[in-house]
Amino acid sequence: MKNTIIKYSAVMLTVVLLFSSGCKKYLDQVPNDRVTIEQVFQKKGPSEQYLANIYSYVDDQSEQWTQNPWMGNADEIDVTWSKYIIYDLNIGNIGASNAIFDRWGYYYSGIRAATYFLNHIDGNVEILALNGQQLIDQYKAEARFLRAYYYFLLMRQYGPVVLVGEKEIPADASAADMQLPRSTYDDCVNYVSSELDKAASVLPLVPSNNGQASDVQYGRATVGMALAVKARLLLYAASPLYNGNTDYASFKTADGKPFINQSYDVQKWKKAADAAKAVIDLGLYQLYKDPGGNPVKSYQGVFLQQWNSEQIFNRKANSLPNWDTHCMPRQAGGWDGIGVTQEQVDAYFMSDGKTIQESSLYSETGYTTVNGVQIYNMYVNREPRFYASVTYNNSVFQGGNMQSASPISFFVSGPNSKNGHPTDFTKTGYLVRKNVGTQTNSGSGGNGAQQARPLALFRLGEVYLNYAEALNEVSPGSPDIVKYLNLIRERAGVPQYGTAALPLPPSQADMRARIWQERRVELAFEALRWFDIRRWKIASQVMGDMHGMNMNKDGDDFYKRTVVSKHLFRAPASYWFPISQYDMDRSKLIVQNPGW
């Protein structure tokens, strides 16, 4: 690295610091204005470019077909196209020698970059001259946060990981230098949690570039971001997959220590609850609510209103216009292929706050005319989040190149059916509507408007549900459980628990089931369901045959639950991704994940 040449561009500076796709240009070699790696960390601009490159490893989770599998390999959506590698994962075409969605080396590159920054930024002459030590300390805290976050991303995908420590491994390291073992999962959690605490103790409450709250630089690390990542980390660590999971008794380190602790510890739930409450107690975030009080617009606005009060950790540069295109019907110029599963449709509550199994309002026979459009009764009297999240047959939609609002039909003879295009059609008879910017459509036939909006990775609604779930496990009956569960339901326009019409769940197990279902609805299509069903150890029960409506039929025959695809889950292999054979060969001390 000593002879690495870094390009210094003042124009790029303000762009790259906010997750620009140009971040990785810091390795470009150019004939003029060259500085060596040693000089980089004596200058403010190049050092900030280096930090911006570390930010660039934050995943863009809006792309859920070739870059991320967290929605399409769960039970909430089905991606229609077999040309995308999500199809290979769903049919089980994955292994150590075919490690699709492999992010092991990618995240370690981000970890290495952060460690290098931490080890070299002290003593930066230009920063010290301008801002003193305060800005250096903030930048180090940002790098520390990012490094901890990348470890967390590794852990959620692969389980126990290799903790590299404070010494950066050269990019051209020898095989001998790569001989590092995986640590136990609890050791990984303790390390990452400690690093997040260290970062939070220095990071600003409001994102800033120079230590001044008035200079807001959205996207930069804050206290809230660090604490929110810690809350999710500890929630996962307390869950059945990692907390006393005896199914993995034989999954051990080279010296015989179980990677997954074999003894259940209820105090892990206490730590998770405390971590979530710490985010809440910051007092910096509020649930987003539409000024007019419309619950559908409130739920939509969580994602479509930029940098709103609920968003904690956002990625500014993203592929959301591409997400919009894949989710929009062909009537709007979209590609018509991100289909909501029937399993997810059935999870939404009714307008009385009850499940479809409990509510007298639910019916799967007959039709109701709504604003002049005939709607199948399965979709009538559903809760507001359903209408904000799902495009169903004959629902009204306007977006893309549509000049006016129109019903969207998925009947086999309709304009968005499988008969109208050889590949661009939903197999389930539904499309995702949630977080679809209706004025954005980068696909053929769309209006081309690039509606800039950040991608929310962490938000307060999730933190409330994290807190309620953890508290229910360690302190069942605590009034805070229903308080924060009801805050979510109140914003959603759904009747709350503890009323005459909707009594409190009578037991810890009943409350757990309600919290799980609330998570499924509130956090749908946010790349969280994949991790929930695995950490709860229910994936084998909910994966498999995915259902939708019968896309081969018209009329009443359309509204029949039909198997439309299979999302394979094979225990124990499907709980974590395989470490690629390439990485296994580089480090002989790494133990492969079970089943691979």
Strands, DSSP E only, in 398-551?
406-408, 431-432, 455-459, 544-548
The alpha helices in 31-175, defined as continuous H runs, are: 37-40, 44-55, 85-90, 104-120, 125-131, 133-158
**Overall residue count recorded for the chain in this entry:** 596
Instruction: Evaluate whether 576 touches 593 at the Cβ level (below 8 Å).
Output: yes
The DSSP code for 124 is -
pLDDT tens sequence for the chain (596 residues): 333 323 323 223 333 333 333 333 333 333 444 557 888 899 999 999 999 999 999 999 999 999 999 999 999 999 999 999 999 999 999 999 999 999 999 999 999 999 999 999 999 999 999 878 999 999 999 999 999 999 999 999 999 999 999 988 776 777 677 789 999 999 999 999 999 999 999 999 998 766 554 456 889 999 999 999 999 999 999 999 999 999 999 999 999 999 999 999 999 999 999 999 999 999 999 999 999 999 999 999 999 999 999 999 999 999 999 999 999 999 999 999 999 999 999 999 999 999 999 999 999 999 999 999 999 999 999 999 999 999 999 999 999 889 899 999 999 999 999 998 999 999 999 999 999 998 765 554 444 444 579 999 999 999 999 999 999 999 999 999 999 999 999 999 999 999 988 999 999 999 999 999 999 999 999 999 999 999 999 999 999 999 999 999 999 999 999 999 999 999 999 999 999 999 999 888 999 999 99
pLDDT computed for residue 24 by the predictor:
38
- Pairing outcome for strands 367-370 and 562-567: unpaired
- Cα–Cα dist 315/317, whole Å: 6
By CB neighbour count within 10 A (0-12 exposed, 13-18 middle, 19+ buried), where does 28 fall? Answer: exposed
DSSP state of 25: G
**What's this model's pTM, rounded to 2 decimal places?**
0.92
Give whole-number Cα distances, 293 to 17, 49, 298, 490, 518, in Å. 36, 43, 7, 11, 21
**3 state SS of 455:** strand
pLDDT at 132: 81
Q: According to the 3-state scheme, what is the secondary structure of 369-409?
A: EECCEEEEHHHCCECHHHHHHEECCCEEECCCCCCCCEEEC
39's CB contacts (< 8 A; 6+ apart) are 46
Which residues on neighbouring strands pair with residue 65, listed in sequence order?
Answer: none
Is 123 exposed, middle or buried (CB count within 10 Å of its CB: 0-12, 13-18, 19+)?
exposed
554 within 8 A of 413, measured Cβ to Cβ: yes
Give residue 548's pLDDT: 98
Nearest to 81 by CA among 413, 392, 399, 421: 421
Query: Angle formed by the axes of helices 223-238 and 185-200, to 10°?
Result: 160
Structure tokens of 403? 């000049």
Instruction: Report strand pairing: 34-36 vs 311-315.
Output: unpaired
Query: Is residue 226 classed exposed, middle or buried when 0-12, 13-18 and 19+ CB atoms within 10 A define those classes?
Result: buried
Report the pLDDT value the prediction gives residue 441, as an integer from 0 to 100: 55
* CA pair distance 244, 98, nearest whole angstrom: 31
